[in-house]
Structure 1
Amino acid sequence: MAWVYILKCSDGAFYVGSTKYLEDRVDQHNSGFGASFTKKRRPVTLVFAQEYDNVGEAWQMERRLHGWSREKKQALIDGRFELLPELSRRGRRRDLSGASGGEGAAR
């Protein structure tokens, strides 16, 4: 089993990751042994986690989430799944128009 997770950092930024040991990984982030992104933004709070059958599936979902807008990640966290298709279409329209599409991968 493996997990994909989203942390909310003390500055409000989101961090997306994947791991086999969810509780240990969140503890690492809060102890300063996690990613350098979260080290400067402690404490972090686990706001979303989803379990997968294997590490490969979790990693693929992590990569997908890195490309999502903050608004789309927030809809996922809030359980507002009905908003996800529309938020996906908005992102594609922005990309097609040549406008800048979003924020950093970890946000």
Structure 2
Amino acid sequence: MAAASTHYMYVLECADGSLYTGYAVDVRARLAVHNAGKGAKYTRARLPVSLLAYAEFATKHDAMHAEYVFKQLSRNEKDALLAAASHATFEEALKNVLT
């Protein structure tokens, strides 16, 4: 995973079942930061978190746009998208909501 020029949008599941979406250049390192209690304030109160999905983008702008679009979806829409990603890549599943 981790060329500096690669950008990711990722989805975590928190211990309380809620979802957290973020941006990173190294998803595994960011997951470790979250689980160390040093990530986002939202996840600090909901540890541990687990990685559900991530999508790779060529630019930071594209990754952050995908994060924004995902956050605008209802929980049911997010769950459906994540389920679709289990049959294809998360990038492919996201294409439907990004276009």
2:22 partner SS: strand
Q: How does 1:1-107 map to 2 (within 5 A)?
A: 1-79=6-84
Aligned-pair RMSD on alpha carbons? 1.5
Q: Gaps (5+ residues) in structure 2?
A: 1-5, 86-92
For the pair shown, which has the larger CA radius of gyration, 1 or 2? 1
> C-alpha offsets along residues 54-107 of structure 1, whole Å, 9 cap, x if unaligned?
1110001101111111111111111165xx78xxxxxxxxxxxxxxxxxxxxxx
TM-score, L = length of structure 1: 0.73
**Paired letter, 2:13:** K
Percent of aligned pairs with the same residue? Answer: 31
Q: Gaps (5+ residues) in structure 1?
A: 86-107
Q: Paired residues, what number?
A: 83
2:84 partner SS: coil
| Runs (4+) off by over 2 Å | none
- Deviation of 1:2 after TM superposition, in Å, equals 0.5
> C-alpha offsets along residues 16-41 of structure 1, whole Å, 9 cap, x if unaligned?
10111111101111000110000000
TM-score, L = length of structure 2: 0.78
